[in-house]
Structure 1
């Protein structure tokens, strides 16, 4: 019978629309509002998967995001296949198709189960020991087989046809968690008028009220109160509700990342995005993330039909599903009794409650006994019967003495206590504190503007949790609004007393029998024996235990297993739990799809494409572009019939003979402004700046602390308190970050402001003998004569009626100017300059010609002619290091013995003996080509080109003791043969530098 385990009149899906779905090819029916897990259980399906390592049968453990077992594949079509979806959070929709994973040929008959028989060979750390020998077997045997076995699901092999969206949001108060505490905090904050966002990973709000029964708030049933409060919040203009939205990462400065499941619950998604990534900055964050119930650790505790007690309550009270007809409960705290009571009241057979405690007392215990449920104190479950589903449990005194009792059951509910969900708090860099009284970690020292409320803060009873949340919501609102006058909330707290989680540590004696499989981490098949073995083999820190056993390293990140592993390790070591440590909680809280993270950044949008203001003109004039970082840069401008080499040769000749226009807008540009601007520049650059006159420029070198070149560029001083700094194209962002880092952490006393203006200025380099004649008719307010504007100077005026910062500088070695104009006018000014340039036979040239022209003059490019290990002296730039300077970033690094030792690799020029042979960049250099292999490499080629102006090939290289090798012949071994080169100076054209002035 369809949905044979659905109890009529029970749960909150009464009247829900029937839906059809498939699991492993079998058709089933469910209800609208079901999860896949609740629908499977309604149909009596408990076996849903196989474990990773041992391929043991696994069933549904939980009803939420902590689920380690019920991982399935969801197949919408051939292209839409999502592996490792937790059945407990996958909402049911009509036509859903799910498949089990990690089994062959079928779920019931899996040949991989042979691993279970071989489990003695797969104990903790076996991979560290096994794969070390023989060394030769790694590539040939181990790695291929490990890769073939790795993973649970099958990754999709077709492009993802879905699309994803993203949103940025700001709010005064962000509340994470929509249970009773979260709803109360959100309403208390919202009633003050501040902007509130409330998110919850479930489809609706209510949290633990899904499984609570009898809880009352403000005189109402708890679930009814939650739904009415959610509706009330939805009607407030200053509130945004985000159901189906998981807060998965808490980052610096109250940035919280959320992922919203937009259409995963719809049978026909239409044009909507599948998921939406939210990046929220909140003035205050309230964490109401609840607690996670933990399982008991005993032999066979992973058998299908064994699940958390709270999960059974959820399936009953929310979905109207009985997880069994002959149920037992195994617990060490009072909360599991309520599950037994609810099931008994719903007509489900509850055989017994097995309680590890010696003398369990409390309202739930008495109520269970009054209903005729047998309570067995001081008892432990030592074995279970059944293969694909539990059939019985063996109960013995926990002391190990006495005779065991076999009890037939078809479901076993368990609860070893509750772990406060402090994951997001920990991600915020908050420090947890161990509460010895309840044996659990709670929020301790806060690092950001947040508050934890409810059971994640150790507040266990409902009345106290709601009161705490109301107070926290009001405080957060007042703080976010700048101490706005207090507004009293309308919530009248009279919540009924809830339950106390009680014991939170591992069950006493858990997993001491090393001959059985008592699972701690279900997903990674880690047993109590593995934890104990790790300690025996010398692991003392829980971080070492974690890595040796892989406990807590699966996709569930140990939500149910971490504390068990920690408690067992502490018991073995004879230490208190805090002494052993706590593993680190890292984002994401639950798995996040690549689609949500990548979002719009796919295909052509994978990386932002940056175009200069002149890009359109360059396209119209046939430019071929190359990618330089995110920029599209004109590479060369071929004319009809020209290949790249012919075009570049022509461009290089034209620039030297007449002039050329080059788009240099991609250069990084930073304004350094303030009374201490010159002092700051002195500290960040090797050069002196205090005496540089306004209106003059200087080539500057920036070092890292270790003394190696970090970036370079021309710096113009516009005024006593203002510098215009240029950087390499690829270095713009990192140089600004470098400057900000030092300004904020090392030199915070300096009155300096840094502003990136890279996008604000279009830059047109006009280079060549005719450059002044080209710009002169268009410039106003600037005297362009050599006397008034010498080389390495900057002036402000207008060009084509547009404000300009005009630099007299050159990266080709010819007379040159760089015209900086507001970006919006870049193309118009370029066109005006082009019109003038055509009169003088000028050309537009691209990055390849620019590289050739600068190499002819020996000008370096940081990142090409340097590799992070080059000092100013190595590059022949000692002249750019202030001789009288006593301090700048990197000065101490330059004094290291190895940086001043003889024989360092130095930048030199190379001339091939055959002038027509062009070396390959990156080619290695040797002194003796006949030496035995492996040869000693003494350097490599950094830049190499054919120079039309020199009529030969030219190259720059870094060579050991390079400047002492002038005139020597060295060798470049290549597959085609050995190439002879002669070491010389780095300047190949106009060695005296006369063309800069004429």
Structure 2
């Protein structure tokens, strides 16, 4: 037996099995199966935390995931420290280290408690009003100190030594919640043969059966039935049972996020086992059996340690065998608190009084209370409490009166009713309806293939809950395609039917009680008067009230405070609660660790580098690399003694005079295949594709709906029903997504299949006057003559004995080829080409030379020379828009008046007056450098380089009315001087394009 407050013969834990842990340096003993919260209560400890703003003493309030107060720093050693762990959810094990948070130097004596003395000055909106002046002080004084004080826990500084796992799964039916409703629904679904996943956040399934010992199911005590049925489910081959697993997010198309705590309850975990496992599940149907959350009572002094929810006191007694006090008062507006009083009374705990805010409680519970000799004070309210680090008394008055009776207690349990847990339903984009009679929101209009059952659906009795769940389980399984039958019949009874409930502030915490500290949100110290002040200050939207007061913005996301806050706001606004509305429920349902979300993506895998098949060759030949997206690309190839500029200048000259070999494997590549491939291409691109003959290529522009350039690339038609599409390196994933999105949503009637082949092909670009001479002897099955294989052609054959798709195309403005070969053969073919190129004086060149070469020819790079507001005409690509095309994505956007208006920014070239001046990319352009600041900006430099081939600097820029400014002088203000530039054509080299034809 362990702990002064353990009650012999109560609870479900085994007294012989103990575990030792430390709390703020003090060694304590618990029983195996204890939570940190139950173990502290067993040892007579109610003080668990300090509140965020006022540093008020706070105790354990709940027994579940909604806990706002008892948040601890949990560790088993220095490297495994996790802040803000909810005490009721953390299981105790040998060697567990528990530390309280947000206090100094100790929990009992906290210097931060001085904030409570100044609480009248720290009302809602204090920060917004106080730290506005002087303006310069925000960044230098206020912000650093506020950020230092923010937060409850302290993030560990050591690297996380644990690892995390990730699983993807599909199922017919996913059941969120392992209470009676969830178990019954899972059983019914599983009996049909459907594949089922059932998950619950607790270590054992049971839900409300943890505390409600008045429930009998199929002749068994409720919790025992839950364990037997859980074992039955676990033994079924089509069911996966996931305890200690939070269903934290409900996303589009029944995509569900879960986090399973795998080893956080184990003293000596297997080092190969993950600490947590992230499950990403696609379910055909979802059943929400998430239960309901008990609400506290809002009254002056309702936050003292020793005050907790009635269901929590009942859980600690009936499951853990722990009495929350020796003399426990009850304050309620709901029948369920009576059952907690009955259980405590039967365990030998004194119940000085049940204070009921209602005039007429349920007759059955009232009669039972009186038969047990419990003093029931109906139509009364607790108007204040006494005590410092733990409650010592409650002041009770008849409604409408302030004077009353002081009753000595060492704990107070409260209940104002139950709030259905509709968080996941709301995340699914379902719309809620308001139950006026019971003052609660319930699932209303469904947006996805799910059903809510049990308490989260407003179903009160256990018999009705199980009947509803059995029907839902079979219905959803059949809707998912299961064909078996479920003949389950489960009989359930309960001791009492519950009635009652209220929302909002209680007696003594109304608008007239301006000094009452009646807390709505415990973690953020939001009182009823703060919400009224927000309304008084002009906040009429519930979302504005939430942000002004921070009500519901703590780690519990308002699970306890939300409905009370709505009710108080509605009262202050003179509206009904549904008119005020409801704040947004966002994922995660309860906090999820960064480790679980980040998973393997840390260290080298945080930003994994993608390498081309020729990466090792480039590395062996001294290449310097740059990151382009997540690709490592050869930037330039310096020779001994060369700096970057010298190497790039040499590479550019060599390409123009001999040839260069370039690794273009990172280009996005998409295969568009099917009978309607040309029709699809016509709709996605601005120009026409049905006129393109097999074996030929065409440059294409892709727009967004608004008419702005989205991507570009060369497309080769391999056959009547097959296109090889290239995209920009960084654009490959989004272009694939863009095309797939339109295929599935706008053009699903087209018979087209899309396949990303970026990694399938290694691409070797050979550019320059000797390009044909270099590769021709290696090519088989393709006529390489200029007549048979002109510019913008594509053919399939072999090169160096390897199958190839050979494109004749260029991004350098020279005779050029792009050799596509299977990625596994990329380096071998590269080496074969290099063996011919090197003796001829060719070079390998990198991305920097590629940028200079393409800029010399005025070729754009989408995302560099465009900024998301550029049309094809702005970029000088109006010729690529089919004038006779009736429809394509973006055609209506292009017709908007603003997109054809004069004065739009257009892409032009810039030549500096001093040929040696190289502009900075991104630099602004003005027409008068002497104008007052702020200057009127005409545009900005998009690309700028020194061109060794031209003998002067070159630049491209987006300039307002650029085409009309040819020959004009503009100015580019730099950090140390102003550079004069002349607006010119964007093509600086080989304007007639003759070099392309070799």
Task: Tell me whether the two structures share a fold, i.e. TM-score over 0.5.
Answer: yes
1:924–1:939 Cα contact (<8 Å) kept: yes
Query: 1:564 and 1:976, CA in 2 relative to 1: closer, same or farther beyond 3 A?
Result: closer
Cα distance between partner residues in 2 of 1:448 and 1:465: 22
In the TM superposition, what are the counterparts of 1:27-106 in structure 2 within 5 Å? 27-106=27-106
What do the CA deviations read for 1:723-775 (whole angstroms, capped 9, x no partner)?
32211111112222223333444444544443322222222212122222232
1:177, 1:588 → 2: CA distance?
15
Give deviations 1:938-969, integer Å, cap 9, x for gaps.
Answer: 33322222323233332222333433444444
Deviation at residue 579 of structure 1 after TM alignment:
1.8
Q: Which residue of 1 aligns with 2:484?
A: 485
The alpha-carbon deviation at position 236 of structure 1 amounts to 2.3
**Which range moves more in the overlay, 755-764 or 847-856?**
755-764
* SS of structure 2 residue aligned to 1:730: coil
Moved more, 389-398 or 205-214: 205-214
1:808 aligns with 808
Does 1:283 pair with 2:281? Answer: no
CA deviation profile, 1:223-281 (whole Å, cap 9, x unmatched): 21111222222222222221111110011111111111122222333413221111111
Alignment pair present for 1:342 and 2:358: no
Give me the whole-angstrom Cα distance separating, in 1, the residues matched to 2:897 and 2:461: 67
Q: Which residue of 2 aligns with 1:390?
A: 391
| Counterpart position of 2:233 | 233
- Within 2, Cα distance between the matches of 1:961 and 1:176? 59
Task: Output one character per residue of 1:180-219: Cα deviation in whole Å (capped at 9) or x when no partner.
Answer: 2212222222233332222111112222111111321111
2:718 matched to which residue of 1?
A: 718
| Residues paired across the two proteins, number | 995
Unaligned segments of structure 1, at least 5 residues: none
- Separation (CA, whole Å) in 2 of partners of 1:261 and 1:940: 52
* Inter-CA distance 60–640: structure 2 relative to 1 (3 Å threshold): same
Change in CA separation of 1:899 and 1:479 when aligned onto 2, cut-off 3 Å: closer
Q: Distance in 2 between matches of 1:850 and 1:550?
A: 53
Change (3 A) 1:761 1:870: same
> Residues of 2 paired with 1:266 and 1:296: CA distance?
36
Distance between the aligned counterparts of 1:168 and 1:878, measured in 2? 46
Aligned counterparts of 2:792 and 2:817: Cα–Cα separation in 1: 9
The aligned residue for residue 784 of structure 2 is: 784
Greater displacement, 461-470 / 374-383: 461-470
Give the direction of change, closer, same or farther, for the CA distance of 1:75–1:494 in structure 2 (3 Å limit): closer
Equivalent pair of 1:510/1:528 in contact (CA under 8 Å):
no
| Partner Cα distance (2:36, 2:916) in 1 | 71
Report the 3-state secondary structure (helix = DSSP H, G, I; strand = E; otherwise coil) of the residue aligned with 2:352.
Answer: strand
Q: Distance in 2 between matches of 1:510 and 1:185?
A: 44
Match of 1:652 in 2: 652
Q: How far apart are residue 446 of structure 1 and its match?
A: 1.7
Are 1:957 and 2:957 counterparts? yes
TM-score, structure 1 as length reference: 0.95
Partner residue in 2 for 1:921 = 921
Residue 674 (structure 1) shift: 3.8
- Work out the CA distance in 2 between the residues paired with 1:562 and 1:189: 33
Do the aligned partners of residues 175 and 204 (structure 1) sit closer, same or farther apart at CA in structure 2, a change above 3 Å counting? same
| More deviation, 252-261/756-765 | 756-765
The 10-residue stretch of structure 1 (63-72 or 672-681) with the greater mean CA deviation from structure 2: 672-681
Matched, 1:981 2:969: no
Match of 2:369 in 1: 368
Contact in 1 for aligned 2:328/2:409 (Cα 8 Å):
yes
Whether the 8 Å CA contact 2:192–2:482 is kept in 1: the answer is: no
Query: What is the match of residue 208 of structure 2?
Result: 208
User: Matches of 1:764 and 1:904 in 2, distance apart?
Assistant: 38
User: Does the 8 A contact of 1:466 with 1:495 survive in 2?
Assistant: no
Corresponding position of 1:874: 874
C-alpha contact (below 8 Å) 1:199/1:241 kept by paired residues: yes
- Name the CA distance, whole Å, in 2 between partners of 1:684 and 1:409: 74
Task: Map 1:138-537 to 2 at 5 A.
Answer: 138-271=138-271, 272-400=273-401, 403-480=403-480, 482-489=481-488, 491-496=489-494, 499-500=497-498, 502-506=500-504, 509=507, 511-512=509-510, 513-537=513-537
Q: Distance in 1 between matches of 2:253 and 2:893?
A: 34
Kept in 1: contact 2:711–2:727 (CA 8 A): yes
SS of aligned partner of 1:711 = strand
Work out the CA distance in 2 between the residues paired with 1:529 and 1:969.
65
Say if 2:785 is the partner of 1:795: no
Q: String of CA shifts for 1:24-45, please: whole Å, max 9, x gaps.
A: 2222221221111111111111
1:491-640, aligned counterparts within 5 Å? 491-496=489-494, 499-500=497-498, 502-506=500-504, 509=507, 511-512=509-510, 513-640=513-640
Q: Distance in 2 between matches of 1:16 and 1:186?
A: 34
Deviates more, 1:542-551 or 1:370-379: 542-551
State the alpha-carbon separation in 2 of the partners of residues 232 and 623 from structure 1: 62
Distance 1:938 1:253 in 2: 46
TM-score (norm 2): 0.95
Comparing 241-250 with 832-841, greater Cα deviation is found at 832-841
The CA RMSD over aligned residues, in Å, is: 2.3
Q: Secondary structure at the match of 1:350?
A: coil
**Aligned mates of 1:48, 1:497 — CA distance in 2:** 34
Output the CA distance in 1 between the equivalents of 2:706 and 2:691: 27
Moved more, 128-137 or 818-827: 128-137
1 CA distance for matches of 2:363 and 2:790? 93
* Kept after mapping to 2: 8 A contact 1:419/1:504: no
Give the equivalent residue in structure 1 for 2:849. 849
**Distance in 2, Cα, partners of 1:890 & 1:252:** 27
CA pair 361-992 structure 1, distance change in 2 beyond 3 A: closer
Using the TM superposition, name which of 674-683 and 312-321 deviates more: 674-683
Distance in 2 between residues matched to 1:986 and 1:577, nearest whole Å = 63
Q: Is the 8 A contact 2:365 2:496 kept in 1?
A: no
Task: Give distance in 1, aligned partners of 2:905 and 2:177.
Answer: 60
SS of the residue 2:794 aligns to: strand
Whole-angstrom distance in 1 between the partners of 2:492 and 2:75: 47
Structure 1 residues 596 and 510, CA gap change in structure 2 (3 angstroms): farther
2:385 counterpart SS class: strand
The unaligned stretches of length 5 or more in structure 2 are: none
Mapped to 2, the partners of 1:283 and 1:510 lie a distance apart of: 50
Instruction: Verify the 8 A CA contact 2:929 2:978 in the aligned structure 1.
Output: yes
Counterpart contact for 1:511–1:527, Cα < 8 Å:
no
Range with bigger deviation, 592-601 or 145-154: 145-154
Q: Is the contact made by 2:193 and 2:482 (CA closer than 8 Å) also made in structure 1?
A: no
Any conservation in 2 of the 1:453–1:459 contact (CA below 8 Å)? yes
Larger mean CA deviation between 293-302 and 905-914 belongs to 905-914
Q: Larger deviation: 874-883 or 257-266?
A: 874-883
Verify: 1:709 aligned to 2:709, yes or no.
yes
Quote the Cα distance in structure 2 between the aligned partners of 1:672 and 1:233: 46
CA distance in 1, matches of 2:467, 2:357: 33
Q: CA deviation at 1:389?
A: 0.9
CA distance in 2, matches of 1:468, 1:746: 39
